[in-house]
């Protein structure tokens, strides 16, 4: 369990599959579990101390526009756009947002038939190009599951990678 902060004890907010969450509560730690072929995107504005996490399953909403309308976090393209919008509604400046990426692994797809992880990473890269943005840090690919944490008070993004004892600090 994370240590207490000066402002109180940490409050874990779990971001489920195909969901996103944003916060400006300094005690919040946004957490998403089991990023295999899915991607986790964390964004943070250090001046406003606002951040968010997305757990996206599939690359492009064009495969099911109705589902994307109801659940934008299911898809990379609609999910990242919704995440940025949600943080700006909490007074984050989109120009200051730092982007962190994890996941996109090849899990249970040894033959590379579906290639969902790679396709998710490509969809996120397309977003970055379209918006003329860059990544602050990433840990992607391979054949491991990851859990992503974003501490709102500090903007620190960490990962727990299956099969490893130490946490990985992205930012």
Which whole-number Å values give the CA distances from 57 to 31, 37, 91, in the listed order? 16, 7, 27
Active site residue 14: no
Catalytic residue chosen out of the listed positions 15, 20, 28, 38? 38
Which residue carries 């190009």 as its tokens?
129
Closest of 72, 47, 54, 45 to residue 16, by C-alpha: 54
In terms of Cβ atoms closer than 10 Å to its own Cβ (0-12, 13-18, 19+), residue 144 is middle
Rg of the chain taking only CA atoms, in angstroms: 15
Q: Please identify every residue annotated as catalytic.
A: 38
């Amino acid at each position: 369990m994370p240590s207490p902060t000066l402002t109180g004890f940490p409050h874990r907010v779990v971001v489920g599959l195909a969901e996103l969450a944003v916060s400006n509560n300094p005690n919040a730690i946004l957490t998403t579990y089991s990023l295999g072929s899915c991607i986790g995107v964390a964004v943070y504005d250090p001046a406003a101390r606002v951040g968010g996490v997305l757990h996206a399953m599939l690359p492009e909403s064009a495969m099911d526009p109705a589902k994307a309308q109801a659940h934008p976090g299911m898809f990379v393209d609609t999910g990242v756009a919704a995440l940025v919008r949600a943080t700006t509604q909490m007074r984050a400046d989109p120009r200051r947002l730092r982007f962190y990426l994890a996941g996109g692994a090849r899990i249970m797809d040894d033959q590379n038939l579906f290639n969902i992880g790679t396709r998710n990473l490509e969809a996120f890269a397309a977003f970055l190009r379209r918006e003329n943005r860059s990544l602050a840090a990433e840990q992607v690919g391979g054949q491991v599951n990851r859990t992503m944490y974003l501490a709102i008070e500090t903007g620190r993004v960490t990962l727990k990678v299956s099969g490893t004892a130490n946490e990985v600090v992205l930012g």
